[in-house]
Amino acid sequence: MEAVLAMVIGTLYGGGLYLMMRRNLVQLIIGLGLLSHGANLLIFTAGGLRRGGAPILAEGETHFAAAPSDPLPQALILTAIVISFAVTAFALALFLRTYQTTGTDDVNALKETDP
Amino acid sequence: MTLLPALPILLPLAGAIACMLLRRHGALQRGLNILFSVLILGAAVALLAAARDGSILVLQAGGWPAPFGISLVVDLLSAIMLVLGGLMAVAVSVYAWFDMDEGRMRFGFAPLFLIMLMGVNGAFVAGDLFNLYVWFEVLLTASFILLALGGERPQLEGSIKYVALNLLSSAMFLAGVGILYGMAGTLNMAQLAVAIGQGGQGGLVTMVAVMFMMGFGIKAGMFPLFFWLPASYPTPPAAVSAIFSGLLTKVGVYALIRVFTLVFCGDTAFTHLLILAGAGLTMLSGVLGAASQHEIRRILSFHIVSQIGYMVMGLGLFTALALAGTVFYLIHHIVVKTNLFLVAGAIHRLKGSYDLDELGGLYRERPYLSILFMVPAMSLAGVPPLSGFFAKLVLILAGLRAGAWVVVSVALVVSLLTLYSMTKIWANAFWAPAPEPAASDRSGMDRATWRRFLLPMAALAALTVCFGLFAGPVFGLAQDAAAQLMDPAGYIRAVLGGQ
């Protein structure tokens, strides 16, 4: 399972970086989205994959019978998803406004402020 | 346990909420902005007073012991950064009182400013890598909106570059966090330091260290990915540029210092050499970029990049003296850079331009403003007896003692070129005769208001002079902070409680 996820993560990173280097604003934002998905899956995989094993102790138990799965990576990912959701929403609004103001979605045309 | 370490986060949050509730009242928000900046400064000074004797203040949020809960940690470096952040917040909020237009005020300049401060302060006190990531995102999101607020075309173009590169750096940082968690099973920085110290820094840890270096390096404006900075910082109103230039890239530098003195210090021959090389290239590319520019804010933005190189150089050398130099440089640089952007804003207010070709004759017209530019500009270039001279002296001395000849010679050449850029602004904007037809006073302020408008700049310039004249005590503070950084055992003990 790790190998499959590793390939998925690699594909997400590769695709994300490729799209970020394109000239189109929409592709740039999709690329950013893919990158953050890749990072989230990476945390999920690196935190250790385990089927079942909910880390909940029943009433009266003090030890887990089998090693439980680690809930922390999922909590981290949840936070990261919320953050990337907010940031993507902002980026979409920014790009729309830029398109309305400049009339272009070509990154190469946005050179006015380049040093 | 006291709540004091949480105050720099709670105060701006309270201020932002108050300002949002009063969103229709521009004037009231301006006042609240200043009030809460002063309160934040007060809390930061109290923290510095408590941390001055070398004790490390730790707040375990919710009473959960480390490493299970969220730890807020204030050591001397954090306290110094908090005080500087508070000072800049006060100066810039007073400047914004006079300069920020009503439209931006109504669209939430004040709450965004305070939320950004909350993110900056949170990053300074975070004792946990994921917490650091969250604070980074808080300050970034607020800064995205501050940068784009107003929606002028250059602002939007600059924002796109800023947003894209900073999100890339966040993704890299987050990936590093994930891998590190997979290896060490913790993200509490003190416990990570213990785990990596015991397990030795293998190849994988070093790879993660480089990911952090890239992530923080982009945010700090280090070579090679610094081009977002001169493309975006000159676009918003002066108050926003000033607080960005004073604090945001410095959060990146702070994070680099924190991580590479506490967690990743097992393979300094590789990682810190890489940092040192990056520092040299950052200095050089920044100052060369500045030399080619002809617009005040762009020159200043490129100089942020080159100055970042100096700060990172001290980290790369990784001796107690060099780190003390870095801390001193941070103290000096934050004050000077914010002040220069404020003065540039005042020039724009007066003449309606930032372009050196369209400016001139300012020395004859406004001698006080000229002095207020001269002091930080000469300090930036490192002219004695101002603060920049001592900051560079310490770093170069540390470099010579470590035998790092190449980076020392780069630092000296860059210092000379900085002087060139500053004299270029001085000669063109202040000394050269005003171009025909001479632009009249566009500030729309009478003499008395203008004097009050210059007050924050005068205060920062006085601070620069004081840091130069009383370099001894300030350097003593920097040395104590560096000593704490070089001995992570104290930090670990304070957080984990002597395990």
The share of chain A scoring above pLDDT 90, in percent, equals 53
pLDDT of residue B31 exceeding 80:
yes
Instruction: Compute CA distances B264 → A57, B312, B356, B363, B403, whole Å.
Output: 36, 15, 45, 50, 23
Q: What is the pLDDT of residue B48?
A: 94
Q: Do B177 and A73 touch (CB under 8 A)?
A: no
Single out the residue of B220, B361, B128 nearest to residue A79, CA to CA.
B128
Measure CA B277 to chain center.
21
Interval A1-53: pLDDT, tens? 889 999 999 999 999 999 998 889 999 999 999 999 999 999 999 888 887 77
Q: Could you tell me the end-to-end alpha-carbon distance of chain A, in angstroms, rounded to an integer? A: 47
Question: CATH: 1.10.1270.20, 1.10.287.3510, 1.10.10.60, 3.30.70.3040. Which one for A2-49+72-109?
Answer: 1.10.287.3510
Give the three-class secondary structure for B100.
coil
pLDDT of residue B101: 86
Contact A35 B168 (CB under 8 A): yes
Name the least confident of A78-82, A111-115, B63-67, B210-214. A111-115
| Terminal CA-CA length for chain B | 19
Can you tell me the mean pLDDT for B153-170? 91
What is the pLDDT at residue B447?
83
According to the model, what pLDDT value does residue B91 have?
A: 95
pLDDT at B130: 92
Asked if the model's pLDDT at residue B27 lies above 80, the reply is yes
Contact B160, B149 (CB under 8 A): no
Q: Using one digit for the tens of pLDDT, what is the confidence trace for B216-234?
A: 999 999 988 898 999 999 9
- Alpha-carbon span B241 to A53, nearest angstrom: 51
Q: What is the pLDDT of residue B499?
A: 46
The verdict on B413 touching A (C-beta cutoff 8 Å) is no
Q: Given the structure tokens 């950004």, which residue do they identify? A: B116
* Average pLDDT of the residues of chain A: 88
Considering only CB atoms, A94 lies closest to which of B140, B159, B183, namely B159
Q: Do A43 and B144 touch (CB under 8 A)?
A: no
Domain range list for chain A: 2-49+72-109
ipTM of model? 0.92
Question: pLDDT tens across B259-281, in order?
Answer: 999 988 878 888 899 999 999 99
Q: How confident is the model at residue B95 (pLDDT cuts 50, 70, 90)?
A: very high
Is the Cβ of B234 closer than 8 Å to some Cβ of chain A? yes
Q: What is the pLDDT of residues B448-498, one digit of tens each?
A: 888 888 999 999 999 999 999 999 999 999 999 999 999 988 899 988 885
Closest CB from B148, B182, B231 relative to A48: B182
- The mean pLDDT value for B163-185 works out to 91
pTM equals 0.94
Calculate helix-pair angle for B153-184, A25-46, nearest 10 degrees.
Answer: 10
Q: Is B225 on the interface with A (CB under 8 A)?
A: no
Which of the four pLDDT bands, split at 50, 70 and 90, describes residue B438? low
Share of chain B above pLDDT 90, in %: 65
Q: With CB atoms and an 8 Å threshold, state whether A42 touches B148.
A: no
| Tokens linked to A79 | 């936070």
* B40: pLDDT strictly greater than 70: yes
Strand ranges in chain A using DSSP code E only, listed in sequence order: none
Over residues B77-90, mean pLDDT: 95
Q: Compute the nearest-CA separation of A46 from chain B (Å).
A: 4
The residue to which tokens 């830029």 are assigned: A98
The answer to whether B302 faces chain A, any CB pair under 8 Å, is yes
Most confident of B181-185, B289-293, B325-329: B325-329
A45–B182 C-beta distance less than 8 A: yes
Question: Do the chains contact at B181 and A48, CB–CB below 8 Å?
Answer: no
Partner-chain contact B175 A39, CB within 8 Å: yes
> 3-state DSSP call for residue B126?
strand
Tokens matching residue B155: 């602002």
Residue B420: its H or E element: helix B405-425
Helix axes B76-99, B455-469, angle to 10 degrees: 150
The predicted pLDDT at position B440 comes to 65
pLDDT band at B439 (very low <50, low <70, confident <90, very high): low
Q: Is residue A59 classed exposed, middle or buried when 0-12, 13-18 and 19+ CB atoms within 10 A define those classes?
A: exposed
Judged by phi (left if over 0) then psi (alpha if -120 to 50, else beta), residue B439 lies in beta
Of B182, B227, B232, the CB nearest to A47: B182
